[in-house]
Structure formats: structure tokens, C-alpha cells
Amino acid sequence: IIKVYAKTIYHGDDTLRTILVHRDITKEYEVDQMKSEFVSTVSHELRTPLASVLGFTELLLNKELKPERKMKYLQTIYNEANRLTLLINDFLDVQRMESGKQTYEKKYVDLYPIIETAIEHQKVNTTLHHFALQSDVHQSIIFGDKSKLEQVFTNLLSNSIKYSPNGGNVTVRINENPEFVFIEFEDEGLGIPNDAIPHLFQKFYRVDNSDHRRIGGTGLGLAIVEEIVKASGGKITVESEYGKGSVFKLEFPRVITRELTKQSEGISS
Ligand code: ADP
């Protein structure tokens, strides 16, 4: 986008001249677009859980309720408040990443138990999905930030559930060769149209069709995932067939066991 404007300049000989200045404002325009997108996404996404918190609090305050019903409402308020916290954390994470202020711990991390735990946590959120963990290895050690890697697996697993609204199998595979640990998250959900795949890891990007739009989200989860994977020296790719399901594939440089024998303590799992 080129902005053209007239500028009048004085010359030493007291004459005036008007010149036309061309300036490329594509970057500014993109930043503006991004800001307004951010504001509308934030307001929309925060409003929904907040409305639930307010609504259920009002019910609790105004009505004589049976203890079981009270507990149910309180549980909903707790879940929605948790959702708000996670959303705000995502916004803060993205902001820290943008400004280069995100910090990453570098420690030996065993991925297998982290994935196992992340799957167990997800099981609580669904009765429609069936999870399988397939692996030949029981120790897949890389060098990275444990809590950030937990966030990667949680985001990918929760997307597999969220974008498989009719349920289905979620299969996680962990394998390795001498150099890399490979992890796949496969679902049998909505799938992703081919033309959307190159944009998937961009901030705020959401697949623009009614099936996907019906499901709430900010379009930040995968941007955060990619950033953490890259910061751990890894790579993420996706393969998908629209209407059939998706596979998110991760690869991380493996820490060779020989290196570990020199420093056998300090593996977080
Ligand atoms: P959010 O889920 O908050 O919209 P993400 O960054 O996690 O944001 O995902 C970006 C978009 O990618 C989603 O809006 C969705 O359209 C698509 N997507 C992500 N994971 C899956 C998946 N497992 N199956 C189908 N579509 C997915």
C-alpha cells in the first residue's frame, strides 16, 4: 500500500516547491489490522466465559437452591474462570513472544511421561473421544522447557478434541531415531482445507468456514505451539484431509543417552 502526499518545501532563494512523497505503509496497515483483530478477538473471547460467571453467580445469589445444584453452578463458575485465566495467559504469551521477552528454560526433559499426563488430563474433558498412546520408546529425552512443552501437548490435544465435535479416536505416536524424537497427534475430526494449511500457525488465524467458526477460539494456540517448538530446536508440520481428520507432526533433536551418562541428574519428567 503506497501513501502519496504533497509536501511543500522552501528553497534558499525564497521560492516554494511542492513535491509528491510516496511512502510504503503496508507494514503500518498490517499492524493496524492486527490490532483491531486483537481487540475484537479478545473482547469476544473474554465476554463468553465472563457472561457465564456473572449469570451463574446471579443464580446462586438470588435463589434458594439445593446443595447439589449449588455445587454444579459453582463448578461451572470455577471452570469458566479457569478458561479466562488460560485465555489471558495466551494473550500475555503472545505479547511476550512479540517483544522477544519470552524466556525458556533449557533442561533435559523426558517427553514420554509429559505426554502421558497431558492425555490423562484431557480424558477428563470428554467422554466422546478415545485416546491411544503408541510408542516403542519409553524415554524420549530432549533439551527444552518442561512447562512450555506441556503447553504444546495440551494445546494440540485440546484442539484434537475441540475440532472433532462428533468424537472419534485421538492417536498419539512417539518414535525416535538416533537423532530425533518424532511425535504425532492424529484425530478423526473436521480436518483442515488445503488452502488454510500454510496460514495455520499465524497469530489469530482461524479456518474460515462455518464448521470451524462455530467452535470458539482465538487463533493463538498454534502460534504459541510453533514458537515453543522452534525455541526447543524442533519443527512442526501438519497433514490433513478435509472432512476426515488431521495429523500434527513434531520433531525434536534428541539428547543422546551417551551425553546423559555424563550428567545423569536433572532430567525433569
Ligand atoms: P483456536 O483453536 O483458538 O482457533 P489455534 O491456533 O489453536 O486457535 O488453531 C487455529 C485454527 O486451526 C483453528 O481455528 C482451527 O480452524 C484449525 N485447527 C487447529 N487444530 C485443528 C484440528 N486438530 N483439526 C481441525 N482444525 C484445526
Distance (Å) from CA 199 to ligand 1 centroid: 11
Q: What is the pLDDT of residues 93-122, one digit of tens each?
A: 988 988 888 999 999 999 999 999 999 999
Distance CA 222, CA 203 (A): 8
Residue nearest to atom 23 of ligand 1 (CA): 160
Q: Which pTM was predicted?
A: 0.82
Distance CA 205, CA 262 (A): 44
- Residue 256 and residue 268 in contact, taking contact as beta carbons nearer than 8 Å: no
**Closest ligand 1 atom to 201 CA:** 6
Residue nearest to atom 16 of ligand 1 (CA): 207
Pocket test for ligand 1, best of 159, 166, 207 (most atoms within 8 A of CB): 159
Q: For 121, list phi and psi in degrees, rounded to 5.
A: -65, -40
Distance (Å) from CA 255 to ligand 1 centroid: 30
Q: What is the pLDDT of residues 211-256, one digit of tens each?
A: 998 888 889 999 999 999 999 999 999 999 999 999 999 999 998 7
**Closest ligand 1 atom to 212 CA:** 16
Of residues 110 and 5, the one with the higher pLDDT is: 110
Distance (Å) from CA 192 to ligand 1 centroid: 9
- What pLDDT does 12 receive? 72
Q: Ligand 1 site: residues with CB under 6 angstroms? A: 159-160, 163, 187, 189-192, 200, 205-207, 212, 217-223, 246
Those residues whose C-beta lies under 8 Å from the C-beta of residue 73, and which sit 6 or more positions away, are 56, 59, 60, 65
**Closest ligand 1 atom to 187 CA:** 23
User: Which residues share a beta bridge with 131?
Assistant: 170
- What pLDDT does 77 receive? 95
Q: What is the pLDDT of residues 30-45, one digit of tens each?
A: 777 777 777 777 788 8
Does the pLDDT at position 130 exceed 70? Answer: yes
**Closest ligand 1 atom to 206 CA:** 14
Does the pLDDT at position 262 exceed 70? Answer: no
Which ipTM was obtained for this model? 0.99
Does the pLDDT at position 265 exceed 70? Answer: no
- What pLDDT does 261 receive? 57
Residue nearest to atom 11 of ligand 1 (CA): 206
- What pLDDT does 20 receive? 87
Average confidence (pLDDT) over 201-216: 89
Q: What's the mean pLDDT when you consider all of the chain? A: 89
Cα–Cα distances (Å) from 219 to 100, 207, 253, in that order, read 20, 9, 27
Distance (Å) from CA 248 to ligand 1 centroid: 11
Place 24 in a pLDDT band, splitting at 50, 70 and 90. Answer: confident
**Closest ligand 1 atom to 207 CA:** 16
Distance (Å) from CA 218 to ligand 1 centroid: 9
**Closest ligand 1 atom to 191 CA:** 25
As a 3-state breakdown, the chain gives helix, strand, coil percent values, each rounded to 5, of: 45, 25, 30
